[in-house]
């Protein structure tokens, strides 16, 4: 194609994604869950969280460590604390969202936590899943220090993501935000494609702005969004 792009049907994209995930060790059910997540992101217009995100999984240092089944550490009628077993977050948080639906449907409210998981993908995916069950959902996630505060040149903050979804008479109303000026996943995609970053979204050595995605990923410092 003249544009260098390939168009896939949803069915072909799913087959490709699931095949790739099985190729790196996921079983059929796990591959289906992760594939659905990245295809949903692509259909929502988030190319960097689409099929290309699968490449980030085997490249992660976490992937190279042993993983265990997700298990319950503590439970009450309205709460669950999970050990994520060093699983990819797109799997472990899917199980957490299912558990939240079960608990909240039975008791009216639920608080679910997950530890030892990585690369959770789009928070909107999970809260929308919960809202489609007729429930209000709020999701937050911890992150390492990636963001420089306004006027700063050193990463001292996380990206502070928060997602909220509310059922409606049509589709759920979803808000999914973070406080960094750019997404790490998109930095990784631009590095793969040899594309520069936009101006003013990453800080390089010495506190100087950079558009080089490889350099930005090594330094890991994004300005916080300004008001």
Domain holding 26, by residue range, is 10-59
Tell me the average pLDDT across 137-166: 88
Domain count, the chain: 2
**Residue 63 CA, distance from chain mean position:** 15
Q: Decide if 82 is inside a domain.
A: yes
pLDDT beyond 90 at 140: yes
| Domain end marker among 59, 80, 97 | 59
In this structure, are 88 and 166 located in the same domain?
yes
Q: Do 134 and 41 have their domain in common?
A: no
Are residue 98 and residue 42 in the same domain, yes or no? Answer: no
How many degrees, rounded to 5, is the angle at CA 58 between CA 53 and CA 64? Answer: 145
pLDDT at 219: 67
Same domain for 103 and 44: no
Regarding whether 16 and 86 lie in a shared domain, the answer is no
Question: Which long-range CB contacts under 8 A does 144-148 form with residues at least 24 apart?
Answer: 144/220, 145/220, 146/180, 146/184, 146/220, 146/221, 146/222, 147/179, 147/180, 147/221, 147/222, 147/223, 147/224, 148/203, 148/221, 148/222, 148/223, 148/224
Q: Tell whether 217 is covered by a domain.
A: no
Q: Is residue 120 part of a domain?
A: yes
Q: Quick one: pLDDT at residue 226?
A: 45
Quick: pLDDT tens for 60-88.
999 999 999 999 999 999 999 999 999 99
Give the pLDDT mean for 45-49. Answer: 93
25 and 79 assigned to the same domain: no
Mean pLDDT of the chain: 91
Q: Looking at the domain assignment, is residue 221 inside a domain?
A: no
Please check the confidence at residue 223 and state whether its pLDDT lies above 70: no
Tens digits of per-residue pLDDT, 81-121? 999 999 999 999 999 999 999 999 999 999 999 999 999 99
Q: Are residues 31 and 94 in the same domain?
A: no
In a domain, 194, yes or no: no
Q: What share of the chain in percent tops pLDDT 90? A: 74
Residue 195 domain flag: no
Residue 212 in any domain: the answer is no
Tell me the pLDDT tens digit for each residue of 183-217. 889 999 999 999 999 998 888 777 788 999 988 88
**The predicted structure's pLDDT at residue 224:** 62
The first and second tokens of residue 38, run together, are 């990245």
Among residues 59, 81, 97, which one ends one of the domains? 59
Which CATH number belongs to the domain containing residue 130 in this structure? 3.30.1370.60
> For the segment 156-180, what is each residue's pLDDT rounded down to a tens digit?
888 889 999 999 999 999 999 988 8
């Amino acid at each position: 194609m003249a544009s260098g792009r390939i168009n896939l049907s949803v069915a072909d994209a799913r087959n490709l994604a699931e095949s790739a995930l099985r190729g790196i060790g996921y079983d059929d059910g796990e591959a289906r869950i992760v594939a659905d997540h990245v295809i949903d992101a692509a259909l929502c217009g988030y190319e960097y969280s689409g099929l290309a995100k699968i490449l980030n999984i085997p490249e992660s240092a976490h992937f190279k460590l042993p993983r265990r089944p997700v298990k319950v550490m503590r439970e009450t009628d309205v709460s669950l604390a999970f050990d994520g077993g060093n699983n990819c977050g797109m799997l472990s948080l899917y199980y957490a969202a299912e558990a939240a639906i079960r608990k909240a449907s039975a008791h009216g409210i639920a608080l679910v936590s997950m530890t030892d998981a990585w690369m959770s993908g789009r928070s909107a995916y999970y809260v929308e899943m919960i809202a489609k069950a007729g429930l209000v959902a709020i999701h937050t996630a911890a992150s390492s220090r990636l963001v420089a505060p306004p006027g700063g040149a050193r990463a001292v903050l996380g990206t502070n993501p928060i997602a909220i979804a509310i059922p409606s008479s049509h589709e759920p109303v979803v808000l999914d935000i973070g406080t960094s000026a750019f997404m790490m996943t998109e930095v990784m995609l631009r590095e793969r494609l040899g594309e520069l970053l936009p101006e003013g979204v990453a800080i390089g050595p010495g506190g100087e702005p950079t558009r080089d995605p490889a350099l930005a990923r090594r330094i890991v410092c994004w300005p916080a969004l300004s008001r």
